[in-house]
Amino acid sequence: MLDDLRNSASSFIEEEAPLEEEIVRKKRKKGQPKNFLGMTPPQRFLIALVLLLMTCVCGIFALLIFEKIVPPFF
């Protein structure tokens, strides 16, 4: 019973190794999608740029409404 203990222990480890490799391969295949929200990098940049411009315009309008700044032609 104990004569072949080392061989049986090493064979068990060798049998499990391919299973771990398959799990790692499956994880690599799944991974995260390359496109965030289904958009390419230029599309994401354009949306970020539009949001920045909208924020700036809304901020300027708010300053005009609350009379913190006055345009020079008034």
Write out the residue range of the structural domain in which residue 47 sits: 5-65
Taking 70 as the threshold, does the pLDDT of residue 13 lie above it?
no
Give the rounded percent of residues in the chain with a pLDDT score beyond 90: 46
Domain count across the chain: 1
* Angstrom distance (rounded) from CA 66 to CA 48: 27
34 contacts: CB under 8 Å, gap ≥ 6: none
pLDDT value of position 35: 76
Tell me, yes or no, whether 73 lies in a domain. no
Taking 80 as the threshold, does the pLDDT of residue 46 lie above it?
yes
**What value does the mean pLDDT take over residues 17-21?**
62
User: Binning pLDDT at 50, 70 and 90, where does residue 41 land?
Assistant: very high
Tell me, yes or no, whether 11 lies in a domain. yes
Tell me, yes or no, whether 13 lies in a domain. yes
Contact 63, 69 (CB under 8 A): yes
Tell me, yes or no, whether 70 lies in a domain. no
Quote the pTM value: 0.52
